[in-house]
Amino acid sequence: MAKDARYSVPYRRRREGKTNYRKRKALVISGKPRLVVRGTLNNMVVQIIAAKPHGDEVLTSAHSKELLKKYGWKAPRGNLPAAYLTGFLCGLKAKAKGIKEAVLDTGLHSPTKGARIFAALKGVLDAGLAVPHGEEKLPDEKRIQGMHIAQYAKTLSANTEKYMAYFSKYLENKVPPESLPEHFEEVKKTVIAAFKGGGKNRG
């Protein structure tokens, strides 16, 4: 333990590995709202947040559970297509509120190419928001649509035991993983339709 009189104990969230204050300071100084993307094994959360003197203020947000409850999504909510759709939904909500731009806040996540955080970013971009980014980090369209999942399901289809084990959640919800790209497009169209006419039917 440091004993120097000038030693300053780091902020609690820095000690707990929850906040990189140097990165956060740079984002706040930009003066733009932050696009915050966070994910768990089963869900994704995408928020537009503004830094205020009294603390952070959430301007709008989207949770992958909304895809299930409002837009008919039946596949798992923690995968790449769900991350994109959650970002797309958040972007449309932000646009309906007059928010036009943001800066990406990756938190403590490593900026891995094609990761879920960048799938969510692609959704926000496709919704019409301006967010500085590097194109090389974004996943390609086929992965966003879930083509890689559909193809993997086809390779496992001959092994019934493995197929049932890997895709039990899909099958429980009566969505064959081979049809995930089609299901993705259907749900995306439903989300778009909900925001036509200024987003009056978005729920």
3-state secondary structure 8-37: CCCCHHHHCCCCCHHHHHHHHHCCCCEEEE
pLDDT, position 55: 76
> Which DSSP symbol is given to 140?
P
* Beta-bridge partners for 46: 37, 62
Span 24-51, average pLDDT: 84
CA 39 vs CA 32, 82, 144: distances in Å: 22, 11, 16
pLDDT, position 54: 78
For 22-91, the DSSP string reads HHHHHHHHTTSPEEEEEE-SS-EEEEEEEEETTEEEEEEEEEHHHHHHHH---S-SSSHHHHHHHHHHHH
- pTM across the whole model: 0.85
Which among 99, 87, 91 has a CA at the least distance from the CA of 33? 99
pLDDT band, residue 52 (cuts 50/70/90): confident
Are 80 and 144 spatial neighbours (Cβ–Cβ below 8 Å)?
Answer: yes
Looking from the CA of 154 toward its CB, the CA atoms found within 13 Å total 9
Q: What percent of the chain has pLDDT over 70?
A: 80
Where would I find the beta strands (DSSP E) of 72-154?
103-105
The pLDDT tens digits of the residues spanning 156-181 come to 999 999 999 999 999 999 999 999 99
pLDDT, position 18: 46
C-alpha Rg value of the chain to the nearest Å: 19
The pLDDT tens digits of the residues spanning 100-135 come to 999 998 876 667 889 999 999 999 999 999 999 999
Domains (range + CATH), the chain: 15-194 (3.30.420.100)
Question: End-to-end distance of the chain based on CA atoms, in angstroms?
Answer: 53
Per-residue pLDDT at 74 exceeds 60: yes
Higher pLDDT, 157 or 53: 157
pLDDT, position 28: 60
Q: Mean pLDDT check: name the lowest of 81-95, 100-114, 147-161, 181-195.
A: 100-114
CA distance 77 to 73: 8
pLDDT, position 24: 53
